[in-house]
Amino acid sequence: MVSIGIDVGSVATKGAVYDGREILLMEVIPTGWSPKETGKYVLEKLKERGKLLDDQIIAVVATGYGRVSLPFVTEKITEISCHGKGAHYFDPTIRTVIDIGGQDSKVIKINSQGKVLEFMMNDKCAAGTGRFLQVMANALELDVSELSKAGENAEPQRINSMCTVFAESEVISLMAEGASKESIAAGLLESVANKTYSLVSKISVEDKVFFSGGVSKNSLLVNMLKKKLGAKIITEENSQLNGAIGAAIYGWERKKK
Amino acid sequence: MVSIGIDVGSVATKGAVYDGREILLMEVIPTGWSPKETGKYVLEKLKERGKLLDDQIIAVVATGYGRVSLPFVTEKITEISCHGKGAHYFDPTIRTVIDIGGQDSKVIKINSQGKVLEFMMNDKCAAGTGRFLQVMANALELDVSELSKAGENAEPQRINSMCTVFAESEVISLMAEGASKESIAAGLLESVANKTYSLVSKISVEDKVFFSGGVSKNSLLVNMLKKKLGAKIITEENSQLNGAIGAAIYGWERKKK
Ligand code: SF4
């Protein structure tokens, strides 16, 4: 018997299969234009790879912004809940989760069962999200994955504008004035770290924080956050699947009750 | 004897010459890369056109975001003060001013002398400013000056994202789904009207509002604001010069005291 979680995000759709003890299978594909088709595809792919028969699947839980588009699931659960649960799966001692995705950022406090106690979310403003870094990398003519390495040994250039639109102009002016790409890259990551810090500081933080979402792959940003928060930051190669994993576990737990 | 006001904005630099009774001369040129050079150029141009000798000029007052870059002026005064004074020059019965420029928006309450009583300003977020409309016009492949005419007879398409960055993606998706440029243009102007309304509603508004700044040229937006505010909206062909005019008048008044 298994439970399947599907997390339809703005950039990627993730799927996970849980058997009550561990995650057996994972799948990540770009969301593209149709969250519904992509969600269905991820489900079929997982069934195929796991050779799963329909009556072996006790639940299919959808989460993520595109969850509303999946009519074929057994339940829909908010990202916040699923991210809390997913982080708990990775490390049950975690009580604080920071997730920065393609177009939002959130801080979640969870209890010892991975249940959400409190959260803060920004999904209204592109500043401080992966989108901000995408726009800025573009202005610097770098790939977003190159920002961390570029800024690694540089003195961060102060970026005054918090707004993505104004910061983009600022970056272009700074380059015209001769500031190095390296120092600008470091400054931009610092700007995201500051924005995240201000979100986090609305919630008290434990000395250990689980950092998930696409932006957690940025090691320079991880270091900056570590300093600002004065906390140990735990990242996971597969933390992108956090939401899908949490959804799969919720599906299992609810059916087994 | 005259006083000169120079308003160095993000997009254009404006200049005005005041003789204690009326504005004699005005000048508008793009700010370009150097606010200092542009400010100096506007001053020289006004002197030349007015055949003004240095000892006829009792004051040169700078305002606008670039005012800090003009070392040669006699005084620097905030935009808020100058906009209040400028609106008062256009119509002394005005008590509320809305100004939406290239990268900020403000609402100012003034007294019967054009002195500022209270104000609200947004210069942190591109949403609701001329910059928002610029980005959106670009996405629609229109010139920003064409938005009003395009949206004139259309049913506004609801734009869910307030953020400039997210709204741009939304506009692109809406076009891909077949929504008309006309309805999107109308929807975008409604978005700016809503943002302005929420700024205005933090201040009580009189039944007559002076609307200045580049965005006030957009007549569909003017109509939307009129409906939302339930107030008469006064615009002026030369309201772009509001700040420069106010600066010139302040210069005069302070010297004459
Ligand atoms: S500050 Fe900039 S990035 Fe944030 S909501 Fe406003 S326009 Fe968007």
> A172 at the B interface (CB within 8 A)?
no
- Residue A51 backbone class (left: φ over 0; alpha: ψ -120 to 50; beta: rest): left
Report B:34-73 residues touching A (Cβ under 8 A). none
Give the dihedral sign, CA B127/B128/B133/B139. Answer: positive
Q: What residues contact residue B245 under an 8 Å CB cut-off, 6+ apart?
A: B5, B16, B18, B23, B26, B82, B85, B86, B89, B90
DSSP H helical ranges for chain A: 35-50, 79-90, 130-139, 147-151, 164-176, 181-200, 219-229, 242-256
B124 touches chain A (CB under 8 A): yes
User: Cβ separation of B165 and A162 shorter than 8 Å?
Assistant: no
How confident is the model over B7-59, as pLDDT tens digits? Answer: 998 889 999 999 999 999 999 999 888 899 999 999 999 999 999 999 999 99
Q: Please tell me if residue A175 touches chain B, with a CB cutoff of 8 Å.
A: no
**Residue B214, pLDDT score:** 86
CB of A127 within 6 A of ligand 1: the answer is yes
Ordered structural domains, chain A, with CATH: 2-124+196-256 (3.30.420.40)
* CA of B32 relative to ligand 1 center, distance in Å: 24
A165 vs B166: CB contact, 8 Å cut-off? no
Buried/exposed code over B84-115 (b: 16+ C-beta within 10 A; e: otherwise): bbbbbbbeeebbbbbbbbbbbbbbbbbeeebe
Chain position carrying tokens 């104000």: B119
Tokens of A65: 């912004």
pLDDT digits 0-9 by tens, B195-225: 999 999 888 887 899 999 889 999 999 999 9
Interatomic CA distance for residues B83 and B16, integer angstroms: 13
Q: Name the closest residue on chain A to residue B176, using Cα atoms.
A: A33
pLDDT exceeds cutoff 80 at A257: no
- Contacting residues for A201 by C-beta, under 8 A, at least 6 apart: none
Nearest to A163 among B125, B162, B166 (CB): B125
pLDDT per position as a tens digit, B124-176: 999 999 999 999 999 999 999 999 999 999 999 999 999 999 999 999 999 99
User: Between chains, do A166 and B126 touch, taking CB under 8 Å as contact?
Assistant: yes
Pocket test for ligand 1, best of B159, B164, B166, B199 (most atoms within 8 A of CB): B164
Q: What is the dihedral of CA A217, A222, A223, A225, to 10 degrees?
A: 160
Task: Measure in Å the smallest separation between the Cα of A19 and chain B Cα atoms.
Answer: 38
CA distance B224 to A59: 49
Q: Please report residues of A whose CB lies closer than 8 A to that of B103.
A: 166
Q: What is the DSSP string of chain B?
A: -EEEEEEE-SSEEEEEEE-SSSEEEEEEEE--S-HHHHHHHHHHHHHHHTT--GGGEEEEEEESGGGGG-TT-SEE--HHHHHHHHHHHH-TT--EEEEE-SS-EEEEEE-TTS-EEEEEEE-S--TTSHHHHHHHHHHTTS-GGGHHHHHTTSPPPP----SHHHHHHHHHHHHHTT--HHHHHHHHHHHHHHHHHHHHTTS---SEEEEESGGGG-HHHHHHHHHHHTSEEE--TTGGGHHHHHHHHHHHHHHH-
For ligand 1, what atom is nearest to the CA of residue B132?
Answer: 7
Burial class (CB in 10 A: 0-12, 13-18, 19+), B75: middle
* pLDDT single digits (tens) A153-200: 999 999 999 999 999 999 999 999 999 999 999 999 999 999 999 999
Please state the separation of Cα B74 from the chain's center in Å: 24
pLDDT one-digit tens code per residue, B62-120: 999 889 889 889 999 999 999 999 999 999 999 999 999 888 999 999 999 999 999 99
At A256, the pLDDT band (50, 70, 90 cuts) reads: confident
Q: Is the CB of B163 under 6 A from ligand 1?
A: yes
Say whether B166 and A103 touch across the interface (CB within 8 A). yes
Distances, alpha carbon B253 to alpha carbons A57, B1, B246, in Å: 81, 12, 10
Identity of residue B179 = A
Amino acid identity of B112? S
Q: Which residue has better confidence, B204 or A220?
A: A220
């909206």: which residue's tokens? B233
- Is B125 an interface residue toward A (CB < 8 Å)? yes
Tell me if B165 and A124 make a contact (CB, 8 A cut-off). Answer: no
- Intra-chain end-to-end CA distance of chain A, in Å: 15
Residues on chain B touching A33 (C-beta within 8 angstroms): 176
